[in-house]
Amino acid sequence: MARYLGGGVTGLALPIRTLGSCGISVPALGVGCWGIGGADVNLGLPMGWDSGADEKAATAGLFTAWDCGARLYDTTDVYGHGRSERLLGRLVAQVPREDIVLASKVGYFAGTAEHGFHPGHMRRQLEQTLDNLGTDRLDIYVLHHADFGPSDRWLSGAVDAMHEFRERGLVRAVGMRGPHRFTLDRLATGSVLREDKVARFQILFERVRPDVLAVRDNLLTPAARSEAVFAFAARHQVGVLVNKPLAQGLLTGAYIPGDARRFGTGDHRSRKRWFTPEAVTLIFAGLQRLGEIVGDEPDQLIRTALWSCLARYEHAVVLVGFTSPAQIRASLACLGDAPPRHVLEEAWRIMASVQQRLDAGGEVFLDEGSGAEVAP
């Protein structure tokens, strides 16, 4: 196997963040490994990327990120049904294990088990994840969703399993999702009143007692929700992994009105209204207004989007995905210093108006009945 380390990419000076009281310290930009899992279907729904990287590009991108200074890599068993983990394992095999921070998740893939959070299944999935990554431990292991079966049948067993993993040294920190509609709840009809996700999250937080929260946040997230989640994390001294800080590419200027994209059956974007021509036009108009303040080059838009998340909480780290070495290099290289506070506040104001117009336009998921999803 070719070795990519030392390939001429200059290491970048990325700010260091500590993930709350668990003590894990990492550069403020981590690498999300969803895109390299490729197109996929799980639970009858598209959940991958049909524009995902081939194996050569994915491997090169992982090593490029390492050379640029990234040290946190986030994956899960269901990204390509193990493909993402196995590709990441190529990097793990060639770098000092004590220098790389590995995060994975469990729960969406049930296999032949009755439920994804069956404790025995979780133990087997952790073992498979460790095998895929070529390591004997994870740094962060996250409960990937909040559906624990009827009357939370599997909740106690899942919590006990996660704490057992931590006590045995198989996992350093336990994580759970922030308030978020999980996939199994996305096909509700108009007659179904969805539960209060925030109240549900608070109940689960007390049961799970996590060290880290995995939170979706970006410039298209309602401000009140962002502020509440990060304030909650601060009160409980937990770290935060921010996923989708670039709204899956929508905040980079890569989606242009009139340039309609088609997504395959295994691509999650095929279900999302945010990627339709009408939504892309709304978002692009907002980015043009933002560009008048920060500059309309992609690196300035990306920098502003990333810092809009990092500036909310000192113990937060953002995860950026990629499908090519150039893409991950660009995301890592553009971070720089935080923009002035007034610039971030203007960015929040401009994109909040876009978010409100998007939410007023209907459901995020094209096959959904009711109940607006608040951020891509």
Contact between 273 and 250 (Cβ < 8 Å): no
Mean pLDDT of the region 191-220: 85
Helix (H, G, I), strand (E, B) or coil at 119: helix
First and final C-alpha spacing in the chain = 37
pLDDT in tens, 35-50: 898 778 887 887 777 7
Q: Find out whether 128 and 82 touch, Cβ atoms under 8 Å.
A: yes
Q: Which residues contact 301 (CB under 8 A, 6 or more apart)?
A: 251, 252, 253, 287, 290, 291, 294, 295
Q: At residue 79, what is the residue type?
A: Y
pLDDT at 60: 96
Lookup result for tokens 């499908």: 323
What is the model's pLDDT at position 373? 38
Q: What is the pLDDT of residue 190?
A: 38
The count of structural domains within the chain is 1
In a domain? residue 157: yes
pLDDT-derived band at 264 (thresholds 50, 70, 90) equals confident
Q: What's the pLDDT score for residue 3?
A: 34
**What per-residue confidence (pLDDT) applies to 180?**
58
Percentage of the chain exceeding pLDDT 70: 88
Higher pLDDT, 275 or 154: 154
In a domain, 11, yes or no: no
Q: Which helix (H) or strand (E) holds 224?
A: helix 223-236
Q: Residue 259 has what pLDDT?
A: 82
Residues 193-220 have a mean pLDDT of 88
- State pTM to two decimals: 0.90
- pLDDT attached to residue 46: 79
Q: Is the pLDDT of residue 183 over 60?
A: no
Q: Which pLDDT tens digit goes with each residue over 66-105?
A: 999 999 999 999 999 999 999 999 999 999 999 999 999 9
Confidence of residue 153 (pLDDT cuts 50, 70, 90): very high
Q: Is residue 375 part of a domain?
A: no
The reported pLDDT for the residue numbered 258 is 87
Q: Which domain holds residue 307?
A: 16-360
Query: What CATH code is carried by the domain that includes residue 226?
Result: 3.20.20.100
Q: Is residue 97 part of a domain?
A: yes
The chain-wide mean pLDDT, for the chain, equals 88
| Residue 371 located in a structural domain | no
Average pLDDT over residues 136-153: 96
Whether 1 is covered by a domain: the verdict is no
